[in-house]
Amino acid sequence: MNRAGIWPINTRLSLITGGSVAVLCLLFSAVLMFALHRLNTHNLIREATAAGDLIAYRLDRGGVDNPLPSISPTLIRPIQVVDPDGRVVAATADLQGRPPMARFLPKAPRRSTIGVVCDHVFGPDRCEIVVAQQVYRNGTWTVYSAVPTVPFYVYPSLVALLIGGTVVATTAVVYGVHRVVRHSLQPVDAIRTQLDEIHKTTLARRVPVYVEKDEIRHLAESVNYTLDRLESAFEELRRFTADASHELRSPITAIRTQIESAMLAPEDTDLNTLGRDVLRSLDRLQAIAADLRTLTRLDECAPGERERLDLSELVAAQLNARRPTRNVVRRLESGVTVTGDRARLDRLIASLLDNAERRAESRLTVSVRWEAPVDGDPRFRAGAAVLEVLNDGAVGGRDRSGTSVQGFTRLDAAGGGSAGGAGLGLPIARQIAESHGGALMITNSPRGACFLLLLPPASPG
């Protein structure tokens, strides 16, 4: 395994940043040394040229002495004067008795040129920059002046300074980045620690949200939002499992009781009656299993058909297919169109009507209408198609204003009686509503319960 993969992120970022700074410092040092090398070499060539110019001027005005005098205390350079026959006639004290330091001459029409001479009159392993200048005086005379070449590092002290600066800068950046990143990642580590505790304990806990409005705060808010959803989902699953086990236990217990009674008193048992009772319990079991399968398919977001449908026509068709046991008041606006699956929407409407009819005392009010856009809900920016089913039965107990339908949702039975049913009709209706981009709620009314279905309108296309 690559060792970098097991290092903390602050160490990796520090090393990456420090490496980048070191590379930049080295590049800067190389550019600086190159520039200083060029500048220093240029200045030395100018000094050699100036010294040669002065000797050439004296030669042109009447001649020079041998040895050549020093130009000045600060301008001491090796210089030779070569006559037209190639003999050294004058030289500085350090070059007395030496052959010409160079043999190259300027090419016409130029009167001066520059070259590098190594291992000649200057000694072994030594190179000098030589400037050759021609003077015309009864022939062509040549004045050679030399300066030492500049090493690529210019000065040893400069190299030491640049290396030291690179080390100091890299160390400072690595240390600074390490501290800053470690400080910045402390909230992330706190979030991770809290998530580990949540994993060990309960989903009711939340990760800390810091004051600074930055990416880490957004991360913490997203994590808490996800935990809210997970807690709600687990709570719903727990409640759903408990209710499902209760609903399944009732028909199973009934079947067991009937069969045990028949086995204890076979002579008093009518097989036809026993068969009918058992079949009723089995029908209920089959209905629960079918509803559970339907809920599973809806939870998996199994796609359905999509077409433009008139919601009022769907509701009217369901009402016309029933044998009314209560007085039904219809308030169905025409032209309330939605996009959806006809079979699933029929199931939704039938479930709402069944639940309302079981709890109604004498009257149902069924309304279909348009409503204005719902503030704060992006699903209904263009308005909402609303189906309202209101019954006049008594709903005891708690306030249900705006309650969202959950698994095995039941309204309290009117008059203390059982409303019957497996409790899966409303959850299935809710899933169908949500799969169509809508919402299903139970709201309060002066008497009874009001089922409120909201669906987004069909697009103009």
Least confident span in 148-152, 206-210, 411-415 = 411-415
Per-residue pLDDT, averaged over 347-361, amounts to 85
Q: What percent of the chain has pLDDT over 90?
A: 4
Residues 6+ apart with CB under 8 A from 171: 18
Per-residue pLDDT, averaged over 444-461, amounts to 80
Q: How far apart are CA 147 and CA 79, in angstroms?
A: 10
**For the segment 23-64, what is each residue's pLDDT rounded down to a tens digit?**
998 899 889 888 988 898 898 888 888 888 888 888 888 777
CA torsion angle for 15, 8, 2, 163 (degrees, to 10)?
10
Q: How far apart are CA 7 and CA 1, in angstroms?
A: 11
Residue 313 confidence class, pLDDT cut points 50, 70, 90: very high
Is residue 212's pLDDT more than 60? yes
| Structural domains of the chain, ranges and CATH numbers in brackets | 204-302 (1.10.287.130), 305-455 (3.30.565.10)
Q: What is the pLDDT of residue 74?
A: 57
Q: How far apart are CA 125 and CA 51, in angstroms?
A: 25
* Full-model pTM: 0.48
Q: What is the pLDDT of residue 396?
A: 43
Residue 415 confidence class, pLDDT cut points 50, 70, 90: very low
Q: What is the pLDDT of residue 368?
A: 92
Side by side, which strands form the sheet with 403-404? 327-332, 363-371, 384-391, 449-455, 439-444, 403-404
Is residue 211's pLDDT more than 60? yes
Q: What is the pLDDT of residue 431?
A: 82
- CA nearest 101: which of 73, 64, 140, 127? 127
Is residue 423's pLDDT more than 70? no
Mean pLDDT of the chain: 80
Residue 4 confidence class, pLDDT cut points 50, 70, 90: very low
Rounded (5°) CA angle 371-373-374: 100
Is residue 419's pLDDT more than 50? no
Is residue 225's pLDDT more than 80? yes
Is residue 416's pLDDT more than 50? no
Q: How far apart are CA 356 and CA 347, in angstroms?
A: 14
Q: What is the pLDDT of residue 76?
A: 64
Amino acid at 400: R
**For the segment 119-137, what is each residue's pLDDT rounded down to a tens digit?**
777 777 788 889 999 888 8
Q: What is the pLDDT of residue 397?
A: 39
**SS3 call for 91:** strand
**For the segment 259-306, what is each residue's pLDDT rounded down to a tens digit?**
888 888 888 778 888 888 888 888 878 877 777 777 676 666 555 678
**For the segment 245-257, what is each residue's pLDDT rounded down to a tens digit?**
777 787 888 888 8
Between strands 363-371 and 327-332, the pairing is: parallel
Is residue 417's pLDDT more than 70? no
**For the segment 430-445, what is each residue's pLDDT rounded down to a tens digit?**
888 888 888 888 877 7
Q: Are 364 and 451 in contact (CB under 8 A)?
A: no
Q: How far apart are CA 406 and CA 426, in angstroms?
A: 8
Number of helices (H) and strands (E) in the chain: give both, helices first. 7, 13
Per-residue pLDDT, averaged over 82-110, amounts to 85
Q: What is the pLDDT of residue 387?
A: 92
Is residue 321's pLDDT more than 60? yes
Is residue 141's pLDDT more than 80? yes
